[in-house]
Structure 1
Amino acid sequence: MKTGKIVIPAVLLLVWIPFVFQTDLYPLFRFGMFAEPVRREIQTESFALRIISNADKTYILSPEETRLGSLAYLMRNYYYRHEADTLLRRIYCITPHADTIVEWQLLRMVSEVAHHEVDTTVVASFKPSLHE
């Protein structure tokens, strides 16, 4: 009988203590009736350089043509620093035969893994004739 008087309050105390130290209700929202359905919205993001030549031909510039091995990193870095125009100007300066190009564009392509659709956005554009 004496053991029951100690065991029952000890068990109740052990069950009650985690709720005392809990500062928010997040663990309750994770499971149970407050739980949100699990969503898998995985997106892939890539960047590309599109150039428009004098003959109105449009094509994607390869990293080998710019002589930059880390072009993908630079495009992402300048995009998130909001300096994409600066990147286009610098690539224009180091690219051979840049005088035949009318416009430079930085493209951001986002696609969801589950879907096969790609959302392409022109992030920045640079026209050399206006800036020289």
Structure 2
Amino acid sequence: MSTVADKLAKKSTRKTGGKQVRLRLVYVDFWSAVKLSFLGAVALAVVTMVSFFLVYLVLQATNVMATAEDFIASLTDNAFILTEVVGLPQVMAFAAVVAILNLIVFTVLGAVIAGIYNLAVKVTGGLLVGFMSN
């Protein structure tokens, strides 16, 4: 037979679930999205500059540049000198141009995605996000 005490003991051993909250993301602030995508693009620009510099140093340290220069010199009878065209200042200038273009493109892309999401929310009703407390 089951007593009241047994029923209470069974209830107390059960784990209680955390509180669950379900929210809809129905609007993304345009300027916040632009600022966030700009900050992400700045981080990517720094990574681009550092990676170009490191790749150049690795190619110099492993003598790949010297080997390529010897090969090109043998093909062109020393008419083309690779180190004049692919020096550290030229590589870093190219990296800066790539980083600036990426900065512009990613910032605009973040703005466009925020605008497209805000338009799509009018049709779909938004993104349902669930949170649960522990």
Q: RCO (CA 8 Å, sep 6+): is it higher in 1 or 2?
A: 2
Structure 1 or 2: larger strand share?
1
User: Which TM-score band (shorter chain)?
Assistant: under 0.3
